[in-house]
Structure 1
Amino acid sequence: MKNLPLVSVIIPVYNCEKYLKETFDSVFAQTYRPIEVIVVDDGSTDESAKIAQTYPSIRYFYQSNQGAAIARNVGISLAEGNLIALLDADDVWQPNKLSLQVNYLHQHPQIGILATNIYQFLEAGVEIPSGFRPEQWLGEQPGLIPSTLVIRKAVFDKIGVFSPKFGSSEDTEWIYRARDSQVEIEMLSEVMVMRRLHGSNISWKSVSTSSSQLLRILKASIARKSRQIH
């Protein structure tokens, strides 16, 4: 592939010092180039800033604590690439993730959003919350989550960025909005992301409340479709 596109990697960070080095190293171990790495620190009070700033090629930005949606949106606004790759600060990429996805997008220009499978595992010593079902959450899973996504920047121009109104379900709401706007989404079967479940995961904390958020998302989706019909 000639004239390889720049991939902007957006990493929102909030008090993730325990995992950051492994996460960053997995980005810089990618077989694909060119990339730019944008870290938006969402008001961390631990050593996250110091760790990020030990990587000279990281573009580091700090904001007061406003949530992951706003942090991702800031990163997207700063991105110079035509492809956006999202990554949570406690997840890890396989080395060939970006190469696989960029090549696939090049071959399938109609696809706007490309995901991969994930492997989810429990961090040692984590207390399991009520409502957690290991058979549903652990092991290889379909991965329509931020850390798997490579997105054409034009998709954001079409449907907008992430809404902070949906809390930790902002990525699910955005995917629904993309589908309602006829953006083509595809998922590769390869496992390209290792996702660690631990006591500080935002989604982990919200296992028991995700149903109410999903109901809000579905209502918003139905309203959009109704407006399209009329």
Structure 2
Amino acid sequence: MTDAQVTIDVEPRERFSIAPDKLVSIIIPCYNQARFLGAAIESALQQDYQHFEVIVVDDGSTDHTWDVAARYPKVVAVRQQNQGVAAARNNGVRVSSGSYLVFLDSDDRLLPNALRVGMKQLLDHPECAFVFGCHRDIAADGTARSTHSFVGIEKDPYRQFLLYNCVYTPSTAMFRRDIFETETGFVSLFGGAEDYDLYLRIARKFPIFGYDEIVAEYRRHDTNKTGNNAQMLKACVSILREQKGYVRGNPDWEEAYQAGMSNWRRIWGERLVSQVWSRCKEG
């Protein structure tokens, strides 16, 4: 993982007396999302699985992100120069103590069952590097919008991730910490889709399991990174191109690679065209 300077403000808390093999670290990277951060933190603190720590990484915010994090005595607050969400997540891993990791985006929320269900699924599937559940959309004000369909994992997770990103939002996933000791972590080259790159690298080597239970809420608002269609198109295509050397010689993977390229160009290309057309109509 990329090195970065961080300033750490640690409040005395129970996490130091909890056995690491039972501890879940909830890592919340935040850049100028102070208006949503409190809700994210509170959703993390309201888990019905009690062995957890919450770490907020302020990625050089210019709003009052640091002040919001400081209101919560049970939160470990980390501050870094602005380096992006990948570096923020990686630095959160560095200062964390848990054997299990959840990456909660600062504008999203966990449901109270998220850690309990994730832990159960990892214990039930000891061969898996990570597990993930479902999410529902919420509006900017937090009201419910819709629930997304469950996407299960086939016996070849790498092939499936070549086709599309099965994990809609990182907040639905729980990772084993060991994975971050063997993998690079999140890479900053792929703005907006750093998680997809990580999933593909993990799926090449380890089993993954998806389960049909809602564990997180994805907030739709005017500053979502996934709203930048041009950036997302470039990132997803670049990530898939990184896989070209790995799929060569495997007919199933080669076919999935080509289909995945078509899928991403269609999905983000159509949205980009629609976005440009709307702006043209607005004058």
Match of 2:235 in 1: 213
Match of 1:158 in 2: 182
- Unpaired runs of 5+ in structure 2? 1-18, 151-165, 251-283
2:148 is aligned with 1:140: yes
User: What are the superposed Cα offsets for residues 48-97 of structure 1, whole Å, 9 maximum, x if unpaired?
Assistant: 11110011111101111110000000001111111011100010111011
* Preserved CA contact (<8 Å) 1:140 1:191: no
Partner of residue 122 from structure 2, selected from 102, 105, 108: 105
2:71 is aligned with 1:54: yes
Quote how far apart the aligned CAs of 1:138 are: 5.4
Match of 2:57 in 1: 40
User: What are the superposed Cα offsets for residues 16-67 of structure 1, whole Å, 9 maximum, x if unpaired?
Assistant: 1111111111111000121111111001111111110011111101111110
In 2, Cα distance between the equivalents of 1:97 and 1:35?
12
Match of 1:200 in 2: 223
Match of 1:133 in 2: none
Percent identical: 30
Equivalences for residues 7-26 of structure 1 within 5 A: 7-26=24-43
Give, as a single letter, the amino acid of the residue that structure 2 aligns with 1:47: H
2:207 is aligned with 1:184: yes
In 2, Cα distance between the equivalents of 1:54 and 1:26?
15
User: What are the superposed Cα offsets for residues 82-126 of structure 1, whole Å, 9 maximum, x if unpaired?
Assistant: 1011100010111011001101211211111111111123436xx
TM-score using structure 1 length: 0.86
In 2, Cα distance between the equivalents of 1:53 and 1:40?
11
* Preserved CA contact (<8 Å) 2:30 2:58: yes
Quote how far apart the aligned CAs of 1:225 are: 4.3
Give the 3-state SS of the residue equivalent to 1:49 in structure 2. Answer: helix
Give the 3-state SS of the residue equivalent to 1:163 in structure 2. Answer: coil
Larger relative CO (CA 8 A, sep 6+): 1 or 2?
Answer: 1
TM superposition outliers: structure 1 runs of 4+ over 6 Å: none
**C-alpha root-mean-square deviation of aligned residues, in Å?**
2.0
Length, aligned pairs only: 212
* Preserved CA contact (<8 Å) 1:155 1:183: no
In 2, Cα distance between the equivalents of 1:77 and 1:170?
18
Give the 3-state SS of the residue equivalent to 1:166 in structure 2. Answer: coil
Residue 91 and residue 141 in structure 1: after superposition, are their counterparts in 2 closer, same or farther (change >3 A)?
farther
Residue 106 and residue 214 in structure 1: after superposition, are their counterparts in 2 closer, same or farther (change >3 A)?
same
Give, as a single letter, the amino acid of the residue that structure 1 aligns with 2:67: K
In 2, Cα distance between the equivalents of 1:24 and 1:63?
19
